[in-house]
Amino acid sequence: MKFLKNAWLFLLAALLFYGCDKVTTERTYAVRLPTFVSMSTLRLQAEQMVVLPQPLESTGKIYVYGDYLFINEPMKGIHIYNNADPKSPVPLTFLKVPGNVDMAINAGMLYVDSYVDLLTFDLADPAKPTLVHRNEDVFVSLYQRDYTNAGSDKLMVVSGYRDTVISASDERIYKPYIKEVDLVYDNVNAGGNYGQGGSMARFTLSMEHLYAVDHYKLHLFQVSDKRKPAYIKDIELGWGIETIFPYKDHLFIGSNTGMFIYDVTTPGEPEQVSRYQHMRACDPVVVNDDYAFVTLRTGVACGGAQNVLEVVDIKDLTNPRLVKSYPMKNPHGLGLADDVLYLCEGAFGFKSFRVSDVHNVANNALESFENLVSTDVIVAPKSLVVIGENGVSQYDYTDKAQLKLLSKIQLAKSK
């Protein structure tokens, strides 16, 4: 009987206990981790920048200057083509500029970013650009200060990425009666340090000044001495700046929450005239005298929830107002040739619209190239240059309603 009493006591005691799940989680991540390099190391490599033409492996920004076509390969440099005959662009050279994402050209001087520096190249011989000046540490937001163990040499930039497998584990206890998790221990074993991505500057020239935007600042340079840009100052714009488009004496700066209009009548002292707000999205901008055409798109970096082309009345620059919004699939860059708007739809192709009647753009579609993956377009004097993930295409747009393919520079991997 003594045993039974003990047994029942044990059972009653057991009822007072609560069960639980002890969980050990082992995770394996396949991630891309940044690799870091110091700017001092990169600056030492500046002597070997001009190399033979290289295969185009990826596409970034494009720039047309006279008979020359410049294609940026993000973070690697710039492919320079002789584009005197758009039917047959001839590769001249590859300018190795680590950390380069954008460019602008002013009177034979090529301005490019190289991580935190602004470089000036003399294009007297476009096949052999000569580095004539370096403005150091002008895009300092690209420094990765807090993510490296670089010791005293903390001014590092992200030089690339490598695929890495990370394993991590943790233990926890799940109790349904107590809705909290007891974290017992946490153990992470990574193949290296990892941090955050850099921002991408965007360049434009206006009124003898170079304007470059990164994600939250407008960087201002005076280029009246075209060989030696002089850094003037930075203007805070708020987070999410993406594009900059000059028109006459104004700058139209696209951010992912709206469009800023700046008056640059006094180029060294840009003044904000107004701000047109829209839903959060990526938004390249082009303008004519009366209207701004803004594309809003969804995407990882943009965080938006809509894909539309917005037409904004800017007759009164102090009070921009939405005229009409047209649904699109995934609109990226755009270009205006008189009353024809060319619009890149990313993976969904390339389209053109007659926009003389801004209230009826959707019904005035001209052409649609569904297989032409496109991200940006330049209406150049000799050709319409369209860039996308698969390469750079040039079209004859003499008849704006009927484009004719002239040439195509394909990516090496897609040939």
> Is 11 a residue that touches another protein (CB under 8 A)?
yes
Q: Does 52 bind another protein (CB under 8 A)?
A: no
Q: Which two tokens stand for residue 193?
A: 């340090």
Q: Which amino acid is at 74?
A: P
Dist. CA 282–CA 333, nearest whole Å: 10
Residues 93-132 that bind another protein (CB under 8 A): none
Structure-token pair, residue 353: 């619209």
Considering only residues 298 to 317 of the shown chain, the ones binding another protein according to CB under 8 A are: none
Q: Which of 25, 224, 265, 410 binds another protein (CB under 8 A)?
A: 25
Neighbours of 110 (CB within 10 A): 26
**3-state class (DSSP) for residue 349:** coil
Residue 74 vs 268, nearer CB to another protein: 74
Cβ atoms within 10 A of the Cβ of 406, count? 19
Q: How far is the CB of 322 from another protein (least distance, A)?
A: 33
CB of 164 to another protein, least distance (A): 10
The CB-of-176 to another protein minimum distance in angstroms stands at: 5
Residues 31-50 that bind another protein (CB under 8 A): 31-34
CB of 200 to another protein, least distance (A): 15
Considering only 21, 47, 236, 289, the residue that binds another protein (CB under 8 A) is: 21
**Residue 18 binds another protein (CB under 8 A):** yes
The DSSP output letter for 17 is: S
At 19, list the tokens. Answer: 């069960």
Q: Cα separation of 183 and 90, whole Å?
A: 62
Q: Looking at residues 159 to 188 of the shown chain, list those that interact with another protein (rule: CB under 8 A).
A: 161, 163, 165, 174-177
Size of the site for another protein (CB under 8 A): 37
Among left, alpha and beta (phi > 0; psi -120 to 50; other), residue 214 is beta
CB of 159 to another protein, least distance (A): 15
Q: Which of 55, 160, 191, 197 binds another protein (CB under 8 A)?
A: 197
How many residues appear in the chain? 415
Alpha carbons 407 and 390: distance in angstroms, whole number: 13
> Which residue type is seen at 8?
W
Enumerate binding residues for another protein (CB under 8 A): 3-4, 7-8, 10-11, 14-34, 161, 163, 165, 174-177, 194, 196-197
